[in-house]
Amino acid sequence: MATIIHKMKKGRPYYYAVESARVNGKPRIVWQKYLGTVDAIVGRLEQTRPEKPHEAVLFEAGGVAALLRIAQRLDLAGVIDAAVPKREQGPSVGRYMVLAALNRALAPCSKLGIGDWYEQTVLRRLWRFEKTAFTSQRFWDHMSMISDEAVEAVQAALAPRIRQEFGLDAEVLLYDTTNFFTFLSTANDRCPLAKRGHNKAKRNDLRQVGLALLVSRDFQIPLFHKVYEGNVPDVSLFPKLAPELVARHRQLDPQTRATLVFDKGNVSEDAMEQLVLAGQPFVAAVPLDRLPELAAAPFGKFHEVARFPGTRALTAQAQAWGASCRAVVAYTESFFTQQLAGVTHNLVKCQKKLLDLEKSLAKWRQGKGRGKKPTVREVQTAVRGILCAQFMTNLFDCSVAEEKGLPALHYALNHDKLDVLTRQRLGRTLLLSVGGTQDDAEQIIGTYRSLAQIEEVFKNMKNVDFLRWQPAYHWTSQKLKVHGFYCVLALLLATLARKVAGQAGIDLTVPALLEELTAIREVALIYPKGTAQPRDHITLSRMSSTQRKLADALDIATALKG
């Protein structure tokens, strides 16, 4: 074992590292190393002390790496490049779309800012493209290469990859639509896709585009989408999409009879007949008038549904669109109270407006009217407008007659009809199951109520932090369709990441998952030039226990290796 000794020479101590051993039974120094004076030793220590970092640079890492790893497992860029090939010069179309999807999922921004965002993430280190490769003009040039046929080809190619790589429960598929308003001016004639219509965000003053979406019940993984004109109602769109939905179902798993679930806003004779002829099982809500006698059955015939407290049901066999189906009338207490509150509110509004109209007409008959003289037809039109809310026309008995050359309004609330409405209609939903494996009321009601999960998907797409669709920053139909394409790709990557995390025992919503992942940063320690440090040091920021589990489950280490 080495020790340090000093020797005095000319009154000054000099230090040596020595090793001793016994030689012929006596201790002897068998090895020594000259260390020098105290000042020399301290000087060498100062020279070998690590330099302080010049600066630390943080990069977005966790969210990018996790979703990038999902994209790598799907070979998403390769699938897109196969549908939209280009010469090997700069980033491929697939790289542009993957970047756009990652940005929409994690930190939505305009194409003007996406290059700056790219440089602040680990993508800059992994892809090694300068941020000037992702200017807004270059993005728009590559978006212009993507046709409707290319989008369809990518969707078709991704479905089997999702099933093979991640597993997919395609027993129940959920279909619904939503819309997104735009800020396109009325004078813009380059975007016939954006139309004015009934906007779900109450922005009927703005032009909008629609999005139809088909997702799996488990984890709401998007399997098909269509961007369509903003003024097309659901009932008109669904017959056009029905063949594509059937084809997508068969592509997912030809051996499984997946059940398609949708609400009554999509129900039309044409669409339902298409589904029945194609042998597509479905569960749908339909208007109560479809089976009026069953829908109006006495409440005493309903039985409780144990799985759903506050819900009662009546089940029967029925015929619809030439097919035998299982019909369920579901009564829900909460739905009843909501509808009753709405009816009561509308009754009060209608009564007040009818009273005001009757007083106005009475003034004319008294010779005190002002303005244009009213006519019977105008009053009838006004009454129809007042009673336009649901059920109101049926609940009020109104008549407009001419008295002394002037219209007179007579109205009264029909209490018998209000009683029938309360006892036989409010709180009731008519569900039809055609060709599926759902037989009893509990299964059918549970399958239909899973449709609420797609509403959560649309809520996420209108989130202000993650997966945001708006604002679109595009003003042509083709660009808006591509915008919808990479927004759905962002949703695909996020939902698959949630599925992987869920299978690892980490139960988080999509926004909560993305929030945890984006908090993981890559830290680069930058040292001054010319120092003894061989290279800059890169590490990850300190992670919570949840973040560590997510990092392991989503294999972000592989993505960070490049």
Handedness of CA 551, 554, 558, 561 (dihedral sign): negative
Q: How far is CA 431 from CA 99, 330, 340, 368, in A?
A: 42, 8, 21, 55
Q: Given a cut of 60, is residue 425 above it in pLDDT? A: yes
Residue that the structure tokens 């997508």 belong to: 248
* 225: helix, strand or coil: strand
Cα(336)–Cα(351) distance, integer angstroms: 22
Residue that the structure tokens 């040091």 belong to: 537
Q: Given a cut of 60, is residue 533 above it in pLDDT? A: no
Cα(58)–Cα(518) distance, integer angstroms: 12
Kindly report the pTM of this predicted structure: 0.84
Q: Where are the alpha helices (DSSP H) in 366-428?
A: 376-386, 392-395, 415-424
**Mean predicted confidence (pLDDT) in 6-18:** 81
**Secondary structure of 506-532 in the HEC alphabet?**
CCCCHHHHHHHHHCCEEEEEECCCCCC
Q: Where are the alpha helices (DSSP H) in 425-476?
A: 441-449, 452-461
Q: What is the pLDDT of residue 561?
A: 84
Q: Given a cut of 70, is residue 53 above it in pLDDT? A: no
Spatial CB neighbours of 393, under 8 Å, sequence gap ≥ 6: 384, 387
Cβ(470)–Cβ(181) under 8 Å?
Answer: yes
Q: Given a cut of 70, is residue 177 above it in pLDDT? A: yes
**Mean predicted confidence (pLDDT) in 411-430:** 94
Would you kindly state where each structural domain of the chain is located, as residue ranges?
3-49, 57-147+494-548, 284-450
Burial code of 397-433, b = ≥16 C-beta within 10 A, e = fewer?
ebebeeeeebbbbebeeeeeebeebeeebbbbbbbbb
Give the tens place of pLDDT for each residue, 201-221: 888 888 899 999 999 999 999
**Mean predicted confidence (pLDDT) in 476-497:** 95
- Identify the weakest region by mean pLDDT among 223-232, 304-313, 460-469, 550-559: 460-469
Cα(76)–Cα(154) distance, integer angstroms: 9
Cα(390)–Cα(134) distance, integer angstroms: 52
At residue 241's C-alpha, the angle toward residues 432 and 315, to 5°, is: 5
Give the tens place of pLDDT for each residue, 250-299: 776 666 678 899 999 999 888 899 888 888 889 999 999 999 999 999 98
Percent of the chain with pLDDT over 90: 55
- Identify the weakest region by mean pLDDT among 126-130, 163-167, 437-441, 488-492: 437-441
Residue 417 C-beta-side C-alpha neighbours within 13 Å: 11
Q: Which residues pair with 447 in a beta bridge?
A: none
